[in-house]
Structure 1
Amino acid sequence: MADRADGTPLQLTEPGVWVERVGGRVFPKHLPALFLDRDGTINVDTDYPSDPAEIVLRDNIMPAIAAANRAGVPVVVVTNQSGIARGYFDWSVFAEVNGRVLELLGDQGVLVDMVLACAYHEAGVGPLGLADHPMRKPNPGMLIEAGRRLDLDLQRSLIVGDKLADMQAGKRAGLAQGWLVDGDAAVQPGFTIRRLHDRDDLAGLITAIETIGGDNRS
């Protein structure tokens, strides 16, 4: 298993799971978090992104991350990466692409605190060819692992994603609400899906982030 291009080791806890603590921000225990999908939510999804030079951020997520940073709410990226299992690219390429995403976010003055990725997929080859792995969304494993490592309050946390699998992972992890990019609102037992289409929707997400951040200081 190769290291990154700069020689630093890959942040793998097992062959198909990446867990990376980003930056040095220290948080009190039992905070809620802002969970974010990556491709299609933070950056434009170019169908298995594998070229750092092609990464373009989506404009409407930056204010939400900034609100979380201001409120002292940890920001955690949870991303399925079946392109690795399918053999389209490897973890070293993922590291380069993800590094570019974080670099572009930093250029916009916003920070991510942890990145988790799952490469397992039933269409994969070798050890990554596993179906229904607990870390792969819609399963909640990545959220639960982040909750364990950062000692988060998952019930008060929020998730933003562009697929129903993101919302299902949030519900299964015990979150109460999520925002679906370009999707429709829905109410399910114990979980509310809100749409994220326009400025009004974004304002609602920012208000929700500020609310859970305000709860931290109460």
Structure 2
Amino acid sequence: MADVTLPVKPSPYPLEEPGLWVERIGDRVFAEGTPALFLDRDGTINVDTDYPSDPADIVLRDDIVPVIEAANRGKIPVVVVTNQSGIARGYLGWDEFAAVNGRVLDLLRDGNVFVDMVVACAYHEAGTGPLAIPDHPMRKPNPGMLLEAATRLGLDLERSLIVGDKSADMVAGQRAGLARGWLVDGEATSQAGFEILPLRDRDDQKRLLAAIEALQSHLN
């Protein structure tokens, strides 16, 4: 009896590979060489609940909607780049990620703001099966997710900005060729041509908003 090969059921999610989610949201078109605002998700856009898997637990940080609003107003692409090692570790799956991510996007829309792309990396050395890859090029602090977004959207990385709550976010920005990043509850520092600014209070937020508005002025 001949072997029968069953067809592989396609994933309902925008998975480029087992551990890489790349979702284009909306249909805004950007000129080649436009800078972007890169945002980490958990701890930056929403309050970090430690491997979030329940949409009901998602709460946005108070300071993030005005930041995304400024980018939207200035026609600056907003790209979420998020490590999701909880998937590799078995704490949640892509189903739960999709539900939580959808809730984040819905809450942002309720605030009349939106993102243009979500890139998520589930690879981690502590994972199992195809997700058990140490130091995967897409996982921050490696720059792969930023480079992937840049290729797809035609971004100018050197003038782009990144906001995150971990040093890995800043290192990923630096390795991708960005010049500046904002570290949630962090301290100001500079190294190897990369400037890190804090995002702790309203004055820090104003400086970030001014930097986004400056990007807009170069596009006009």
Q: Give me the TM-score of the superposition, normalised by structure 2.
A: 0.95
In the alignment, residue 15 of structure 2 is paired with which amino acid? L
How much does 1:110 deviate?
A: 0.4
Instruction: State the percentage of identical aligned residues.
Output: 69
Q: Which residue in 2 is equivalent to 1:174?
A: 177
In the alignment, residue 20 of structure 1 is paired with which amino acid? E
**In the alignment, is residue 48 of structure 1 matched against residue 51 of structure 2?**
yes
Q: Which structure is larger by alpha-carbon Rg, 1 or 2? A: 2
**In the alignment, is residue 134 of structure 1 matched against residue 137 of structure 2?**
yes
Aligned pairs for 1:135-154 within 5 A: 135-154=138-157
> How far apart, CA to CA, are the structure 1 residues paired with 2:217 and 2:61?
26
Instruction: Name the CA shift for 1:149/1:194 in 2 (closer, same or farther; >3 Å).
Output: same
Q: Which residue in 2 is equivalent to 1:79?
A: 82
**In the alignment, is residue 19 of structure 1 matched against residue 22 of structure 2?**
yes
How much does 1:2 deviate?
A: 8.2
RMSD: 1.2
Aligned pairs for 1:62-77 within 5 A: 62-77=65-80
In the alignment, residue 183 of structure 1 is paired with which amino acid? G
**In the alignment, is residue 197 of structure 1 matched against residue 203 of structure 2?**
no
> How far apart, CA to CA, are the structure 2 residues paired with 1:172 and 1:152?
15
Q: Which residue in 2 is equivalent to 1:109?
A: 112
Gaps of 5+ in 1: none
Q: Which residue in 2 is equivalent to 1:57?
A: 60
Deviations 1:92-118 (A, max 9, x none): 110110000000000000010000000
In the alignment, residue 38 of structure 1 is paired with which amino acid? R
Stretches of 4+ aligned residues off by more than 2 angstroms: none
Instruction: Name the CA shift for 1:134/1:193 in 2 (closer, same or farther; >3 Å).
Output: same
SS of 2:198 mapped into structure 1: strand
8 Å CA contact retained: 1:64, 1:206 = yes
**In the alignment, is residue 36 of structure 1 matched against residue 34 of structure 2?**
no
SS of 1:53 mapped into structure 2: helix
8 Å CA contact retained: 1:17, 1:119 = yes
For this pair of structures, how many residues does the alignment match?
Answer: 213
Q: Which residue in 1 is equivalent to 2:158?
A: 155
8 Å CA contact retained: 1:2, 1:92 = no
How much does 1:172 deviate?
A: 0.1
SS of 1:25 mapped into structure 2: coil
Q: Give me the TM-score of the superposition, normalised by structure 1.
A: 0.96
Gaps of 5+ in 2: 1-7
**In the alignment, is residue 185 of structure 1 matched against residue 171 of structure 2?**
no
Instruction: Name the CA shift for 1:42/1:149 in 2 (closer, same or farther; >3 Å).
Output: same
> How far apart, CA to CA, are the structure 2 residues paired with 1:149 and 1:36?
17
Deviations 1:12-64 (A, max 9, x none): 00000000001111111110000000000000000000000110000101111
SS of 1:62 mapped into structure 2: helix
Deviations 1:69-103 (A, max 9, x none): 00000000000000000001111110110000000
SS of 1:156 mapped into structure 2: coil
